[in-house]
Structure 1
């Protein structure tokens, strides 16, 4: 479930939330002043000149910072034409190059300059700490989350204005509390006086609504300020905090042998059905557990350095200026090495560029896909047709098999398919009390849905989707364009059986002629 800071996950709600925030600011800021000055029975009376100037100055700063938080560009990457068309060819586990290596965990000279991540929607490399926002429809540098309250991403470029907005909002609320609660105390102390000597019913109702709105808003914005300042001080975005929690859980489970071949969960409930739902580590348990070794968060480079990097200046006097405060800007003039492309690391890891750690669910899907492809290839070889090696048909293998062997292999596969269908029919008959093709397909779909795990959530029940991240567009390495079905002349699923038999006869005849 989304938090107070991230809000609902639906798109387009900023058209409702931004006017709602403006209405709330106007109600708390200006209706309160009108209420204090319109009823002389609300002690201690209207605001003094000093109080009015201070409160309205805070409101002016709040309005400007909120406007900036809503309108500042969260940043975009501009790639050279060579990088737009040619994805990098590095492997998903290859270490990233760095400008210079660190001599110890206390230095901050290690920097990351390249990436092997790839965005399928942008069709471009995904720089480190960037994520594809499903609302902004582009990769956002150092994306923290997409905030519906501002209709904008909190990112490398917009974080300073978002932080200033929260600071001035909490200051304005704190000052309003110093004005509101003494008046409520006077009303409570005079509660035994006759009604005509105290505030009117309308004023009392206004004070009650104002106090309730102030209390709820103060609590929500205080939580937002605390979480944002924590991200500021530790140089860790909300998305990276989510990744850290997921990595800690996966590493702890791997260290306790939770991902080994003896695991008993939903993945091995149907091992006897001939499908790919066994323990996905299989024989590669040691290798995959090694990939899940604990990785330290590398971007926490020190208290002051973290804050200076986030605000774009090392001058603390400019950090909270509503105007002329500035913010960091993505340096697209130097792709790969400029600001927003390269990030200082603390050197606690053995190599630079080890963050983010591998996603266990992606590793599981990749392992299952590889096992499925290997099994299909082996089945194709046993059947003598439909082998899916590098070159399509396995001509060299099948050329030395007799017709009797080919028939026996085909009969074996046919018998296995018949047994699998029988098991499915039994399961359908037992669980649904019926049969038929439709019920069988329903059962197959249910088994497939059961194998697909629900996305991982943190302790608060949040997914990356709740932060605005498009989870399905990121890959650890650039993917080749997906094949179009029917476009490959060796795609056996799209070739009629008669054509396959004709090709096999022609292939065997050619080999006989060569002999």
Structure 2
């Protein structure tokens, strides 16, 4: 669930306090008592990389569509607040008050959006937090084991194990483990979305919304997509395609038509291409603190299923619909009234829908309880 802070500066203050409290107290009260100088330096290097990557995630602009003048605007949306066309995958952030290229989400802990040009810094920040907390947890556990093994020994001077060290071991060990697990969950979510599926958190939310609508009982979602095909490609409204439409709807009603056979996420390519889009093509760029992707964030490579070819089967054309295929409105079959009819007139199959724009603005929530607005998207401009 997205976190909303009344005072935005708290989002910066809390992480800074946690990094300082765990890192420097652990070093001064615990690590300096038993760790070699070399390992202490390594720990401080890890800590410095956290600060650097965090600073860059805060102050790097995620990217905005400057001088974006597309030739084809048929599948693009116009942002009234920015007074410009929004590139594919871009959204207007209500907090940053700008359109953000390949917007992933607005992060309250950086007071900044995570988008095309600072996603690498954000991900590197998570990685350095994981490396540092894992390294520290290992050292803390080693120290705890040493103290426990020698708890009854008279050979250890009380000056080697101080009361303050025991106090901070008790506080910092579970605290450090908690931070590691929390960031690990977020890191896995980011890797699953961007690297394995090629999508932002917003796009993953959209995909879940579409799938939920598709499999809902008595859903008319498929009919809506077919109407979308006819709106975008009027020449495809042939007798053959109308007949195929009726067949697809019948297969869907019997549970024999899977969601992913009619809906395609166009930006999911191979894992290497997904990494290149998010982090850059060279492995050296993945770890270099200031590195950003080589592209401009305005145009993205599409997969093989997203290309429209005139005269293709209706099912292939459905896969080629621009993302999101229903136009991107927040809707669910449960919360709005939609009537899609499949009727016959003069031997032709006709699909009709009386769905209205107002009805389709009903918000949908995923299993985390998140709405599109929770990712920072301005609902008035999306």
For the residues of structure 1 that align with 2:226 and 2:215, how far apart are their CA atoms? 10
1:315-347 per-position Cα deviation (integer Å, ceiling 9, x unaligned): 11221123xx510377xxxxxxxx222111002
Q: How far did residue 353 of structure 1 move?
A: 5.8
1:9-88 → structure 2 map (5 Å cutoff):
9-10=4-5, 12-13=7-8, 15-36=9-30, 45-79=33-67
For the residues of structure 2 that align with 1:363 and 1:463, how far apart are their CA atoms? 12
The equivalent residue for 1:472 is 380
**The one of 352, 355, 366 aligned to 2:323:** 355
User: 1:136 aligned to 2:96?
Assistant: yes
With normalisation by structure 2, the TM-score equals: 0.73
Secondary structure of the equivalent of 1:327? coil
Secondary structure of the equivalent of 2:138? helix
1:238-281 per-position Cα deviation (integer Å, ceiling 9, x unaligned): 0000000001112223xx53339xxxxxxxxxxxxxxxxxxxxx
Secondary structure of the equivalent of 1:139? strand
User: 1:340 aligned to 2:307?
Assistant: no
Q: How far did residue 301 of structure 1 move?
A: 1.4
Conserved? CA contact 1:250–1:360, under 8 Å? no
Q: Are residues 362 and 461 of structure 1, via their aligned partners in 2, closer, same or farther at CA, if it must alter by over 3 Å?
A: closer
Q: How far did residue 297 of structure 1 move?
A: 0.6
Conserved? CA contact 2:5–2:11, under 8 Å? no
**The one of 236, 245, 250 aligned to 2:208:** 245
Structure 1 residues without counterparts, runs of 5 or longer: 3-7, 39-44, 89-95, 98-112, 261-284, 331-338, 370-450, 475-515
Secondary structure of the equivalent of 2:304? coil
For the residues of structure 1 that align with 2:337 and 2:174, how far apart are their CA atoms? 54
Secondary structure of the equivalent of 2:365? coil
Which of structures 1 and 2 has the larger relative contact order (alpha carbons within 8 angstroms, sep 6+)? Answer: 1
Q: How far did residue 368 of structure 1 move?
A: 8.1
Q: Are residues 360 and 128 of structure 1, via their aligned partners in 2, closer, same or farther at CA, if it must alter by over 3 Å?
A: closer
Secondary structure of the equivalent of 2:306? coil
The equivalent residue for 2:113 is 153
Conserved? CA contact 2:62–2:101, under 8 Å? yes
Q: How far did residue 288 of structure 1 move?
A: 6.1
For the residues of structure 1 that align with 2:45 and 2:7, how far apart are their CA atoms? 32
Q: Are residues 286 and 210 of structure 1, via their aligned partners in 2, closer, same or farther at CA, if it must alter by over 3 Å?
A: closer
Structure 2 residues without counterparts, runs of 5 or longer: 230-258, 309-319, 339-358
Secondary structure of the equivalent of 1:125? strand
Conserved? CA contact 1:147–1:154, under 8 Å? yes
Q: How far did residue 162 of structure 1 move?
A: 0.7
Conserved? CA contact 2:266–2:323, under 8 Å? yes
User: 1:315 aligned to 2:303?
Assistant: no
For the residues of structure 1 that align with 2:171 and 2:332, how far apart are their CA atoms? 53
Q: How far did residue 211 of structure 1 move?
A: 0.9
For the residues of structure 2 that align with 1:148 and 1:67, how far apart are their CA atoms? 14
The equivalent residue for 2:87 is 127
1:199-214 → structure 2 map (5 Å cutoff):
199-214=161-176
Considering only CA atoms, is the larger Rg found in Structure 1 or Structure 2? 1
Conserved? CA contact 1:157–1:329, under 8 Å? no
For the residues of structure 2 that align with 1:297 and 1:141, how far apart are their CA atoms? 18
The equivalent residue for 1:459 is 367
For the residues of structure 2 that align with 1:139 and 1:227, how far apart are their CA atoms? 24
The equivalent residue for 1:418 is none
CA RMSD of aligned residues (A): 3.2
Deviates more, 1:22-31 or 1:64-73: 22-31
1:419-438 → structure 2 map (5 Å cutoff):
none
